[in-house]
Amino acid sequence: YREKNRWSYEACLALSERHEAINQITVAHELAQKGRLEALGGAAYLSHLVAQVPTSVHVEHYAQIVNRLSIMRRLIAAGGQIAAIGYEAGPDPDASLGRAEDILYGLRRGQEQRDFVHIREVLDKYFEESSLAPRGDGYLPHIPTDFIDMDKILGGLQRSDMVVLAARPSLGKTSLALNIARNAAVGHGAKVAIFSLEMSRMDLAYRLLASESGVDIQRVRLDDLTEMQRDAVVNATGVLSESPIWVDDSPVLRDTDMRSKARRLHHEKGLDLIVVDYIQLIRTNRPFDSPVQRMTEISYAVKSLAR
């Protein structure tokens, strides 16, 4: 926030990246090399900084203070940006709300504006998220479908990917999608959100119950069950009730609504997989000249959400 302190930190960072010692003399030399030492206040100002923080014992506490104040300053800046969106008074209020939400979501998630990064940072990210790095229980670098051949081809469902499941009508796309959602949630603990635009939440529940219990769906719907089938359905209900699956069956769903709901769920519960049934039913407030343009825009919105 203060330019002189930023220069000092940048000098420390440069020394660290070169694996050189960091102390008052080396930092002063680094600043002098960059022509900043005198503007900063000379060696006297560095002595002042050293005197302000005489020990590194509580360094984590100091860093938390810096981080907290940084968030507050970014919150102030975000408030100004959101106010500017309001003063623009754009013709599409949903688009304006979406932009405002993007600003707050980016702040909450600690996201900075994207720019060029060195390949080392990308590889570090790979190491952190791959099986090469130790992970706590429950972490899923990718989402298994438990359909062995599909997992071999796709390597599981990769984070940030949009996977389109396409086929002619009545070939079982919804059943396959629900089975993938069930396998991920029940078998691996993945947190799954299902947007069902065509089917009600009860119809969805019937399908999941029938699949989990192995009982014909018509018998489940009509409650026409033998004693053995009833036991199977009860057991299936217990398994599914404990699984991290959330269902939204809003019949009218816009791309902005879906993004907002998914982000809120992700913040509150965490989210590993989103299933949309089906993408052609998603609406948008923007007019289009052709169905192709509309599907292109909706596909872009879904891919953006996945990213």
* Catalytic residue set: 198
Nearest to 275 by CA among 209, 211, 198: 198
CA distances from 197 to 89, 220, 298 (A): 31, 22, 14
Residue labelled with tokens 């990246």: 17
Q: Tokens in use for 71?
A: 């968030």
Strand blocks (E) in the chain: 142-143, 157-158, 192-196, 245-248, 273-277
Nearest to 46 by CA among 34, 57, 38: 38
Contact status, residue 261 vs residue 248, Cβ threshold 8 Å: yes
| Beta bridge mates, 283 | 254
Nearest to 164 by CA among 270, 285, 280: 280
Q: Tokens in use for 88?
A: 């623009």
Strands 192-196 and 273-277: parallel
